[in-house]
Structure 1
Amino acid sequence: MAEVAAGITSDAVNPDISVLRGVNGLARHAPRVVDRVVEAASGYGLVAVVLLLALCCWWRPARRAGDAPAAVAGVAWAALAAGIAVLLDIPVRVLVQRPRPWVEHDGLDVLAHGGGRYSFASGQAAAVAAVAVGLFMVNRRFGAVALLVALAEGFAQVYTGSHYPTDAAGGFALGAATALLLAPPALALLTALTARLARTRAAFLVRSPGSDRPPTPSARRSGCATARRTRTSPPDARSPRPALRPRDGTPASRAEGGIPSPRRTSRLLHGVTGLSH
């Protein structure tokens, strides 16, 4: 009895275990259909959802982006980062060797017993987080939806009793770090590949066929009309006008100030002399 009381006391003190028991306790009162749905989602159901989001992001916004090769490379990296995160999770589990929650704690309603002996970190959470971060770098809308799916994955892992909350948090950190830290070299290589692919017959995989169409005739006419109005528009009234130069070569400053030129003065004197004679 003393050992059981000590275990209950330690569970109440440890927030990781108390959150586990609180979330997993919801499974006791939920309908069996809900338990089956959450169990399927906690496996690789939500991983398939984020991969479907990546496919939709590639098909619409990535191929229609201004720099389509870079955007398509970003979506490809999101999927590759998920696989790399799952592979990196294997040595992490062997190094930490944290047992599953049901091994050390009684009274849990365990819905999923698979997934190996060790629980830290969650491989599914790492994969979903890697895809979410990778998509967020390409398109914020798809990335935000994928981040919500990642949070749902972490909740499902704790709900089924197969992982601690810190296992899901560790998976999120592993997936995000994989997608961010390895992104520069991976994107440089993938962008070069997609740019080369865009110049082949498989260019539709990189760029949407309608994204590089020439402008329509109406757009051309509107552009020509705009250019014509620009050429024929009157000059700004505030801009200074060039000074007019007299025909006899007199500088503009003298003509404006009323001072006659020497040539004109001699002509006037010659005319006056002729009239006097």
Structure 2
Amino acid sequence: MAGLADSGSNPDVDLLYDINGLAKAAPPWVDGIMGFMGEFGLLFALLGLVVWCWWGVRRRGGEDAAPTVAALVWAPLAAGVAVLVNVPIRGFVERRRPFYDHEGLEVLVDGKTDFSFVSDHATLTMALAVGLFLANRRLGLVALVIGVLGGFIRVYMGVHYPTDVVGGLALGTAVALLLSPPAMALLTPLMRAVEQSRRGAWLIKGRQARARVIPGEARSSEVGGRDLAA
């Protein structure tokens, strides 16, 4: 708790020391898991949820399949756009990582030399989570919890201030929501075109697409046969 006294009663720094203090008290193997989850694990988990949702949509099919797949495509695109938006923000603010200015932090990963605000990880995870929420409310709620948890872990790891994470969560949410209407206006017709194509239909409706194409081909052959016979 010495960090609290040295923080100058700054709530952001106080909370940083409180959360990072959990890493000091935890066994090394717990910190190892938290470090992996904060760097890679939760991001992979979110991508896995997106793929799982797509697979379910593909198996179920239905009229809403193409719009749902369009929303799932938007999720990783939104994450990429949000990180690009963050590039000038980080360059403008130029906030150093907390371990450069505050002693006694338990830093769980090395090599973090870039700026701290806004957190790229929090931005990525929340943009993915919100994008998934637009496609599937149930899985989206799980993803939102994962996104918030990922932000908490970044502070736990000693590589971000809490406000870095809050900024990242807000940025990812804003990009995914505000740009969703134009993105869906472009992606939904594209996914419908893929759905109607012979080679890409399986990406949207799976077996239903194959069942639809094969009888169609059969009818075409029958009509061709009658024409030849005539």
In the superposition, the TM-score normalised over structure 2's length comes to 0.85
CA gap of 1:52–1:155, structure 2 versus 1, over 3 A, is: same
Of 121, 144, 167, the match for 2:118: 121
Of 165, 170, 183, the match for 2:162: 165
Establish whether residue 32 from structure 1 lines up as the match of residue 49 from structure 2. no
CA gap of 1:44–1:87, structure 2 versus 1, over 3 A, is: farther
Q: How does 1:1-277 map to 2 (within 5 A)?
A: 9=5, 11=7, 13-61=9-57, 64-201=61-198, 202-210=200-208
Q: Is the 8 A contact 1:133 1:147 kept in 2?
A: yes
User: In structure 1, how many angstroms separate the alpha carbons of the residues matched to 2:150 and 2:163?
Assistant: 13
- Greater gyration radius: 1
User: In structure 2, how many angstroms separate the alpha carbons of the residues matched to 1:78 and 1:11?
Assistant: 38
**What letter corresponds to residue 199 of structure 1 in structure 2?**
Q
User: In structure 1, how many angstroms separate the alpha carbons of the residues matched to 2:9 and 2:166?
Assistant: 19
Q: What secondary structure sits across from 1:98 in the alignment? A: coil
Q: Deviations over 1:39-97 (max 9, x none)?
A: 11111221111011001111103663531111100000011111111222211110111
**What letter corresponds to residue 24 of structure 1 in structure 2?**
N
Q: Is the 8 A contact 2:4 2:14 kept in 1?
A: no
After TM superposition, the structure 1 stretch with the greater mean CA deviation from structure 2, 202-211 or 106-115, is 202-211
User: In structure 2, how many angstroms separate the alpha carbons of the residues matched to 1:65 and 1:13?
Assistant: 57
Which structure 2 segments of 5+ residues have no match? 213-230
Q: Is the 8 A contact 1:113 1:162 kept in 2?
A: no
> Offset at 1:212?
10
User: In structure 2, how many angstroms separate the alpha carbons of the residues matched to 1:49 and 1:94?
Assistant: 29
Relative contact order, higher structure (CA 8 A, sep 6+): 2
Which structure 1 segments of 5+ residues have no match? 215-277
User: In structure 2, how many angstroms separate the alpha carbons of the residues matched to 1:160 and 1:152?
Assistant: 12
Count of residues paired in the alignment: 209
Percent identity among equivalent residues? 45
Q: Deviations over 1:76-126 (max 9, x none)?
A: 001111111122221111011111101111111111233432100110110
> Offset at 1:10?
5.9
User: In structure 2, how many angstroms separate the alpha carbons of the residues matched to 1:69 and 1:100?
Assistant: 43
Q: What secondary structure sits across from 2:196 in the alignment? A: coil
Q: Is the 8 A contact 2:4 2:17 kept in 1?
A: no
More helix by share: 2
Q: Is the 8 A contact 1:135 1:143 kept in 2?
A: yes
Q: Is the 8 A contact 1:81 1:179 kept in 2?
A: yes
User: In structure 2, how many angstroms separate the alpha carbons of the residues matched to 1:149 and 1:8?
Assistant: 28
